[in-house]
Amino acid sequence: MTREKISSIASALVVGGGIGGMATAISLAERGVRADLIDLDPEWRVYGAGITITGPTLRAYRRLGLLEPIKEAGAITNQTHLYRYDGTLIHTLDEPVIEEGLPATGGIMRPVLHRIMQKRVRELEIPVRLGLTVTALESDDTGVDVTFSDESTGRYDLVVGADSVFSGVREIAFQHMGPAVPTGQGCWRISIRKPPGLDAGEFFLGRDNPCGITACSPDDVYMWMLTPHEEREEFMTDEELYSTLKGLLADFGGNAGWIRDNMTREDWINYRPLAAALQPRPWYNGRVVLLGDAVHATTPHLASGAGMAVESGVVLAEELARADTVSEGLQAFEDRRYPRCQDVIESSVGIGNLQLNRRPPEEHAALLEGALSRLNEPF
């Protein structure tokens, strides 16, 4: 597909080679910008969880030309069932196809998704440097002078901070912003083989600890569970992760119960406290701009954080291509992204609060369904 070229910038540095950073580098390169990508991790890895790819996220990936490889390597489902924790069906979510030829929803293992995006980065010959970050940024009217952590320097027409929730770029260039705020919940995840017969997304509500299952390939799923977070000094051992999650699933029926009965110590299990932040505007300072979790970090309640990061990468390139000047493009980017990210973050945190306050499952379902249907609107 031919895309409108960006005329106001020739070069960009993207800091952070995760989901948002790669989406941004791909979108800019496709519009004729020489985009350099750097990542702090010398091995450019991602941990082994699955990830839910909603319809709107699939739509954003389609704009990057990556829908087909994601469909092939992941799992596509056309329904999500809401169950009571004991396995009784409450409701099946209405998940309309939002664009012709687009699946309703799906899932994929994170390392597989990363490989698909990395392959596209390589195909576009985007230079990637690893084990590197930025230590200083000086923005002026025509560009940004960058100092890297290996003491090398460079000058770029634009710098994009896509370096996630603890963003170093945010710390250097955005003094009016702050760290993400803990929401009081933590998220358990397990990657495990698929329960026999599972053919849709599944949510289990009505217990203190809601959970859900997403298929990630013909043979694999991941399950998440949200619990009130308790501060502790040390990380949990693998044995504690295994036995605690098994215990938390004690009363669950349906496929959540199947996972409890079939999980092993070899399955990937992780626990992480949740934090969110809609950072205050402006989201750009001179020619330095933020996107992804660096500026719109959300919780997993709508499974949309990665989708928001991909959309932001696509929208940044679209708005720069439309605008006559860099600042007009960055302002249009922020104006288009802020309300949508605000809705996702406020709805996600709102659902978390209902769970913490033990509100009836019907209230979660209503908030969830309303937010998901707004997300189906064009971005």
List of residues contacting ligand FAD (CB under 6 A): 15-21, 38-41, 51-52, 57, 133, 162-164, 168, 187, 272, 292-294, 300, 303-307, 309
Nearer to ligand FAD by C-beta: 17 or 323?
A: 17
Nearer to ligand FAD by C-beta: 130 or 366?
A: 130
Q: Smallest Cα–Cα separation from 313: which of 285, 337, 282? A: 337
Q: Smallest Cα–Cα separation from 328: which of 4, 8, 5? A: 8
Nearer to ligand FAD by C-beta: 188 or 323?
A: 188
148's tokens: 């890297």
Nearer to ligand FAD by C-beta: 323 or 351?
A: 351
Minimal distance, residue 346 CB to ligand FAD, in Å: 16
Beta carbons of 216 and 267 less than 8 angstroms apart: no
Minimal distance, residue 168 CB to ligand FAD, in Å: 3
CB neighbours of residue 217 within 10 Å: 17
Nearer to ligand FAD by C-beta: 83 or 224?
A: 224
Nearer to ligand FAD by C-beta: 139 or 227?
A: 227
285's tokens: 């300072």
75's tokens: 């799992």
Helix, strand, coil share of the chain (percent; to 5): 35, 30, 35
Beta carbons of 301 and 375 less than 8 angstroms apart: no
Minimal distance, residue 325 CB to ligand FAD, in Å: 26
28's tokens: 């800019």
CB neighbours of residue 27 within 10 Å: 25
Rounded distance, CA 236 to CA 238, Å? 7
Which residue is closest to ligand FAD by CB?
Answer: 18
Beta carbons of 355 and 347 less than 8 angstroms apart: no
Minimal distance, residue 36 CB to ligand FAD, in Å: 12
Beta carbons of 109 and 191 less than 8 angstroms apart: yes
Nearer to ligand FAD by C-beta: 148 or 246?
A: 148
